[in-house]
Structure 1
Amino acid sequence: MNERSAERLERLREALKREGSISLAAAARLCRVSEMTVRRDIAASHGAIASFGGHLVMADNPQFAVAYHLDTQRDRFAGAKQRLGNAALEMIEEGDTLFIDCGTTLMPLCAQIPREMNVTVVTYALNVANLFAQRDMPNMRLVVLGGLYYASSQSFGGQDVTSAIRRLGINKAFLSAAGVHADKGASCFHFHEVAPKQAAIEHAERRILVADESKLDVMRAAFFAELSDFDAILTSGEPGRDWLGRGVSVAPDRIEIV
């Protein structure tokens, strides 16, 4: 590592101590170099600085530590997720192209789409792709978006994923979230999920947020959308009714409690 690179890394460390995270573009402006040079500096930091979905963080910052593992989430609120899958299924029509997000919330929906239904499924989630690959659905087309693989969420990230989403005609995007806050919007644990979620929200004809009751009034590190960005929000149980009753700043006819 040369002297200039060391100086830039120290400048980034000071910024990250103050801010917690900064975007790659902001880091490049701060250091007055290209984003590629920042990436090279990070690679030379021996793991001290990490890059997640276009944001830089200190690798030892507990706020951004991986706190979500697919296996531990699979059986949480299983009944609620099943009801949410039933409600989401009613929104799907023959010929739809569907974007299905990562995580476990949308897995019941994937399992319930009728065998003979003519749909195209677009996903960057390995667990979603594996489920459809194992089903005998003769009229289904599966589009799996690849990139750098993240084992904790069994999903792929990177520019190739978001570029592919922008090229596709998506009728309905089913999005999951780790946090759904009335004021702070929808968020997730992992920064690499932000770009594909936002690309799907931007380009889909209809955007549906699906979140069980455990996600309500929760805020995670990686914000990806305001609640007003969704055409419909599906959530569950008495906590969902209480949440809606507190005057959530979304029209009540756009929220369904199952």
Structure 2
Amino acid sequence: MWAEERQQQILTLLNSHSRVEADALAARLNVSRETIRRDLKQLEAAGLIRRTHGGALVGPSISEQPFRDRLVARIAEKEAIAAAAVDQVKPGDCCFIDAGSTTSAFAKALASVEGVSVITNSLDVAVALRTSPAANIEVLLLGGSVGREAPATYGVMAIEQAGQLRADLAFISPVGIDPVAGASYFDLAEADMARIMLKHARRRVVLADASKCNVVSRMVICPCSDIDVLISDLADPVPFRQAGVGEVIQARPIQSGQAVSKSRRRS
């Protein structure tokens, strides 16, 4: 087993139990205690855990800014990411889209694509797609309880409905994405929704501006190896490609008098 795989399993266990013992990890992963010690040291250096005598605890969680604050932050970067994400969609595709400020920007750009179907829990996404004069898109809004923070539906009803559906693509915008930990959310309901969308989509796309890269929040939903495409304005895509992301697309913000520049990198 590669070090990255062991470390991902350690993080998964910590998300479930909050604390792990080094001896138990060594036995579970069939490696020496010294190997586990090195893994824990590397995870601590990355800011993902806190080592203790004989084991480790969950590291500091990265929380989210209020949704309305996020809507007006890093707008140029999100628009560049949204424009690159539209290139992933062709007429006739069905897409899952979760709730977030970046996916809201994506929905506005997606309105120009003809004959697309969208399944979403985001009220902002649904409104953007249905009110655009250029849109010819079928929108299915998942039912459920409306969240207190983001204008979106969550809970058992929304998850059950999403679980009965299938899509060609899933577009999610997590709180953080890290080469070792993978994609993560702060809110558990948002994490559950993103996880079910990824599970039932043929192709999985993460939209994350550079401020979210190399960041870990409290609920990891998948490793990088489960992500088909990462679209971001990040400067260095190499660690994410090495971690197993199928394709990294670097979306550059629009400069005055220039078009969006997109650099595709394949593993």
Per the TM superposition, whether the score is higher than 0.5 is: yes
Q: How much has 1:96 moved relative to structure 2? A: 0.8
Contact 2:15 2:220 survives alignment (8 Å): no
Contact 1:68 1:153 survives alignment (8 Å): no
- Equivalent residue, structure 2, for 1:48: none
Question: What secondary structure, in the 3-state scheme, does the structure 2 residue paired with 1:87 have?
Answer: helix
In structure 2, do the counterparts of structure 1 residues 65 and 223 end up closer, same or farther at CA, with 3 Å as the change threshold? closer
Q: How much has 1:248 moved relative to structure 2? A: 5.1
- Equivalent residue, structure 1, for 2:207: 210
One-letter code aligned to 2:179? A
Q: For 1:257, which of 226, 250, 255 is the aligned residue?
A: 250
Q: For 1:221, which of 212, 215, 218 is the aligned residue?
A: 218
Inter-partner Cα distance in structure 2 for 1:234 and 1:212: 8
Q: CA RMSD in A?
A: 2.5
Inter-partner Cα distance in structure 1 for 2:194 and 2:240: 26
Inter-partner Cα distance in structure 2 for 1:65 and 1:234: 21
Contact 1:209 1:230 survives alignment (8 Å): yes
Question: What secondary structure, in the 3-state scheme, does the structure 1 residue paired with 2:163 have?
Answer: helix
Task: Specify every segment of 5 or more residues in structure 1 that has no aligned partner in the other structure, as ranges.
Answer: 1-18, 24-62
Inter-partner Cα distance in structure 2 for 1:135 and 1:22: 46
The answer to whether residue 151 in structure 2 is matched with residue 171 in structure 1 is no
Query: Mapping of 1:101-250 within 5 angstroms?
Result: 101-115=98-112, 117-136=114-133, 139-236=136-233, 240-242=234-236, 244-246=237-239, 249-250=242-243
In structure 2, do the counterparts of structure 1 residues 189 and 133 end up closer, same or farther at CA, with 3 Å as the change threshold? same
CA distances 1:164-199 after superposition (whole Å, capped 9, x unpaired): 112222011111111111111111121001222111
Q: How much has 1:68 moved relative to structure 2? A: 3.1
Contact 2:111 2:132 survives alignment (8 Å): no
Inter-partner Cα distance in structure 2 for 1:218 and 1:201: 20
Q: How much has 1:241 moved relative to structure 2? A: 2.7
Inter-partner Cα distance in structure 2 for 1:153 and 1:221: 18
In structure 2, do the counterparts of structure 1 residues 148 and 83 end up closer, same or farther at CA, with 3 Å as the change threshold? same
Inter-partner Cα distance in structure 2 for 1:255 and 1:65: 23
In structure 2, do the counterparts of structure 1 residues 157 and 22 end up closer, same or farther at CA, with 3 Å as the change threshold? farther
CA distances 1:189-239 after superposition (whole Å, capped 9, x unpaired): 210012221111111011101100000111111221111111111111xxx
Contact 2:225 2:243 survives alignment (8 Å): yes
Contact 2:97 2:103 survives alignment (8 Å): yes
CA distances 1:65-111 after superposition (whole Å, capped 9, x unpaired): 97431111012111111110111001111111111111111222211
One-letter code aligned to 1:241? A
Contact 2:62 2:218 survives alignment (8 Å): no
Inter-partner Cα distance in structure 1 for 2:173 and 2:249: 15
Question: What secondary structure, in the 3-state scheme, does the structure 2 residue paired with 1:241 have?
Answer: coil
Q: How much has 1:138 moved relative to structure 2? A: 6.2
Question: What secondary structure, in the 3-state scheme, does the structure 2 residue paired with 1:165 have?
Answer: helix
- Equivalent residue, structure 2, for 1:69: 66
Inter-partner Cα distance in structure 2 for 1:194 and 1:253: 21
One-letter code aligned to 2:235? R
TM-score, length basis structure 2: 0.67
Q: How much has 1:134 moved relative to structure 2? A: 1.8
Inter-partner Cα distance in structure 1 for 2:161 and 2:150: 20
Contact 1:68 1:152 survives alignment (8 Å): no
In structure 2, do the counterparts of structure 1 residues 20 and 222 end up closer, same or farther at CA, with 3 Å as the change threshold? closer
One-letter code aligned to 1:257? Q
In structure 2, do the counterparts of structure 1 residues 90 and 138 end up closer, same or farther at CA, with 3 Å as the change threshold? closer
Task: Specify every segment of 5 or more residues in structure 2 that has no aligned partner in the other structure, as ranges.
Answer: 1-13, 19-59, 252-267
